[in-house]
């Protein structure tokens, strides 16, 4: 039984993006006295609730008494998934990046301000004012935040004592800039390992110790304290944060580097590019240089997004999103080799953003939708699409997720930003299998029995489809364009 939705490959020139038009650093904090004006949480404003279809649909209609929407019913024993949009905020400019730091959510945009929000209620906490805008990439680890800017530099911020649950005042938001990379000392102490042959008669090539184009992505390997940055200039740079210097720089791809992730267990670095490749790198033992281990895939379509997931059994999964709307994934073997496990189909246009949380994969697409996938355990790593989140009116550029504590369900928040210049927060609840077995924890059925029961009920499964409102909206756009022609 096929658990995914068939997608339609399209030409990149006809993608949905054509429909959308899309001082010194201040080390003191900026206060914001009031929260942004969010949309009212009434049924009238919940645009993700599908309109009543003219024909029967496998999507169950939402309850008129509740703002929660039920996901497509895949099997009679499938765990229930509920979701709702709890906030929607309109920004004047595009949001390029989202990062979660402790109890804060930070958004980087085309401006110089990096806004901070309380993760649970989206109350405005304040903002960081930088001397350069276009914060294309952000990554947070503990109390440290890394941001990339239009001047092709990275800024490192100390977020200590910035989080908290108080929403009455933003006085607790006091970030401090630690350093800027590269700094002046890099022009004298830069260490560079070339991939291209050196010029005859020179021992080392001369290189400017910073990226020459937009820094599009970052990944932090906290085991070694190394920050990786990828750029549209096709290079990857490795920075040792505690020494505040670049330890390696190399040409990684033949096109723009769009995203990167690092495996915290063994230090493998994965990069994807517009040249249609996903590559695997590893730092040479005892050295600062990095070696290409494997080209995982050579694709006809550009890759835009990567995400990494570690299972309970310490197996790891790498996910990649491409322009044709598919999500490819690889599984790590015991020998640390990665084998292609398959691909997920469902999005109609390019997959621009990916994020994972436990065995959940969340994807944002150019088709303006967000999909939630679940990797089933003990079933050959089958992935099922649990829900299609609607609400954005433009391509979903970036995503982030925050896990909540809940005894009875896997509860998490999803943060999304789109080219429609809106920033939305979604609450998702997925009832775990352990809770469904017995609320008292005394169920005697083992995993083998669950597998046999699941197999016996496979014939009742149905595949989720695009909601009627999505199809209706795209048909209206198509008809409008046809009239213009």
Confidence label for 173 from pLDDT (cuts 50, 70 and 90)? confident
pLDDT at 376: 83
pLDDT at 409: 83
Domain membership flag for residue 231: no
Instruction: Record the tokens describing residue 42, joined without a space.
Output: 């009434």
Task: Specify the pTM.
Answer: 0.73
Confidence label for 238 from pLDDT (cuts 50, 70 and 90)? very high
Q: For 168-183, what is the mean pLDDT?
A: 80
Domain membership flag for residue 267: no
pLDDT at 482: 54
Q: For 380-405, what is the mean pLDDT?
A: 91
Q: Which helix (H) or strand (E) holds 155?
A: strand 154-158
Lowest mean pLDDT among 192-196, 206-210, 480-484: 192-196
Instruction: Record the tokens describing residue 320, joined without a space.
Output: 């990649």
Confidence label for 480 from pLDDT (cuts 50, 70 and 90)? low
Domain membership flag for residue 170: yes
Lowest mean pLDDT among 58-67, 204-213, 223-232, 412-421: 58-67
Q: What would the pLDDT profile of 16-54 be if each residue is shown by its tens digit?
A: 444 334 444 644 444 433 333 333 323 233 333 333 333
Domain membership flag for residue 154: yes
Rounded mean pLDDT of the chain?
75
Domain membership flag for residue 272: no
369 closest CA partner among 413, 401, 325: 325
Question: What gap in Å lies between CA 383 and CA 388, rounded to an integer?
Answer: 14
Instruction: Provide the sign of the torsion angle of the four alpha carbons 58, 64, 69, 74, taken in this order.
Output: negative
Q: For 268-297, what is the mean pLDDT?
A: 94
Q: Compute the chain's Rg from CA coordinates.
A: 23
Distance (Å) of CA 42 to CA 119, 288, 369, 370, 389? 21, 55, 21, 21, 17
pLDDT at 362: 97
Q: Confirm if 175 and 157 have CB atoms less than 8 A apart.
A: yes
pLDDT at 150: 94
Confidence label for 303 from pLDDT (cuts 50, 70 and 90)? very high
Q: Confirm if 124 and 149 have CB atoms less than 8 A apart.
A: no
Task: Considering only the C-alpha atoms of the chain, give the largest distance between any 2 of them, rounded to a whole number of Å.
Answer: 78
- Tokens 């903002």 locate to 127
368 closest CA partner among 385, 386, 356, 352: 352
Which comes out higher in pLDDT, residue 67 or 363?
A: 363
Lowest mean pLDDT among 66-80, 128-142, 171-185: 66-80
Which comes out higher in pLDDT, residue 137 or 79?
A: 137
Domain membership flag for residue 334: no
% residues pLDDT > 90 (the chain): 49
Instruction: Record the tokens describing residue 259, joined without a space.
Output: 């995203």
Instruction: Record the tokens describing residue 468, joined without a space.
Output: 């009627």
Confidence label for 206 from pLDDT (cuts 50, 70 and 90)? very low
Question: Quick check: 460 pLDDT over 70?
Answer: no
pLDDT at 174: 85
Q: What would the pLDDT profile of 307-364 be if each residue is shown by its tens digit?
A: 999 877 778 999 999 999 999 999 987 777 888 989 999 999 999 999 999 889 999 9
Q: For 405-425, what is the mean pLDDT?
A: 90
Confidence label for 298 from pLDDT (cuts 50, 70 and 90)? confident
pLDDT at 75: 36
Q: For 413-427, what is the mean pLDDT?
A: 94
Residue 479: CB partners within 8 Å, gap ≥ 6? none
Domain membership flag for residue 377: no
- Give the domain range for residue 169: 114-181
Question: Quick check: 481 pLDDT over 70?
Answer: no
Lowest mean pLDDT among 203-212, 295-304, 424-433: 203-212
Which comes out higher in pLDDT, residue 257 or 335?
A: 257
Count how many domains the chain has. 1
Domain membership flag for residue 159: yes
- Tokens 């930070």 locate to 106
pLDDT at 172: 72
């Amino acid at each position: 039984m096929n658990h995914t939705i068939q997608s339609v490959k399209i030409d990149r020139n006809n993608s949905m993006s054509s429909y959308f038009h899309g001082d010194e650093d201040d080390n003191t904090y900026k206060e914001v006295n009031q929260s942004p004006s969010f949309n009212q949480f009434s049924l009238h404003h919940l645009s993700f609730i599908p309109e009543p279809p003219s024909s029967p649909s496998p999507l169950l209609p939402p309850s008129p008494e509740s703002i929660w929407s039920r996901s497509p019913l895949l099997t009679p024993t499938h765990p229930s998934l509920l979701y709702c949009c709890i906030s929607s905020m309109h920004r004047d400019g595009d949001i390029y990046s989202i990062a979660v730091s402790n109890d804060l959510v930070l958004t980087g945009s085309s401006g110089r301000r990096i806004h901070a929000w309380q993760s649970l209620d989206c109350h405005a906490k304040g903002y960081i004012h930088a001397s350069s805008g276009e914060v294309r990439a952000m990554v947070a680890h503990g109390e440290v935040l890394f941001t990339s800017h239009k001047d092709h530099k990275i800024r490192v911020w100390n977020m200590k004592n910035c989080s908290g649950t108080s929403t009455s005042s933003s006085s607790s938001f006091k970030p401090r800039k630690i350093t800027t990379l590269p700094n002046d000392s890099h022009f004298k102490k830069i260490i560079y390992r070339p991939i291209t042959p050196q010029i005859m008669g020179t021992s080392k090539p001369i290189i400017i110790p910073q990226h020459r184009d937009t820094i599009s992505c970052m990944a932090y390997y906290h085991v070694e304290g190394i920050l990786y940055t990828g750029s549209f200039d096709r290079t990857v740079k490795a920075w040792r944060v505690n020494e505040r210097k670049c330890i390696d720089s190399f040409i990684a791809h033949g096109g723009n580097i769009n995203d990167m992730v690092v495996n915290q267990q063994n230090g493998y670095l994965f990069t994807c590019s517009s040249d249609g490749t996903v590559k695997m790198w590893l730092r040479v033992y005892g050295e600062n240089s990095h070696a290409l281990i494997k080209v995982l895939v050579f694709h006809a379509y550009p890759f835009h997004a990567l995400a990494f997931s570690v299972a309970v059994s310490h197996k790891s999964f790498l996910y990649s999103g491409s322009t044709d709307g598919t999500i490819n994934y690889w599984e790590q073997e015991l020998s640390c080799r990665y084998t292609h496990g398959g691909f997920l189909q469902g999005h109609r246009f390019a997959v621009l953003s990916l994020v994972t949380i436990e065995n959940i994969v969340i994807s944002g697409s150019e088709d303006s939708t967000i999909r939630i996938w679940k990797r089933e355990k003990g079933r050959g790593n089958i992935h099922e699409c649990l829900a299609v989140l609607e609400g954005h009116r433009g391509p979903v550029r970036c995503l982030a997720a925050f896990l909540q504590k809940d005894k009875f369900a896997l509860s998490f928040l999803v943060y999304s930003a789109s080219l429609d210049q809106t920033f939305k927060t979604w609450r998702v609840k997925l009832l775990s299998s352990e809770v469904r077995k017995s609320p008292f924890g005394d169920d005697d059925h083992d995993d083998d029995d669950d597998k046999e029961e699941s197999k016996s009920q496979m014939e009742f499964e149905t595949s989720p489809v695009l909601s009627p409102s999505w199809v209706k909206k795209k048909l209206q756009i198509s008809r409008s364009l046809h009239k213009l022609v």
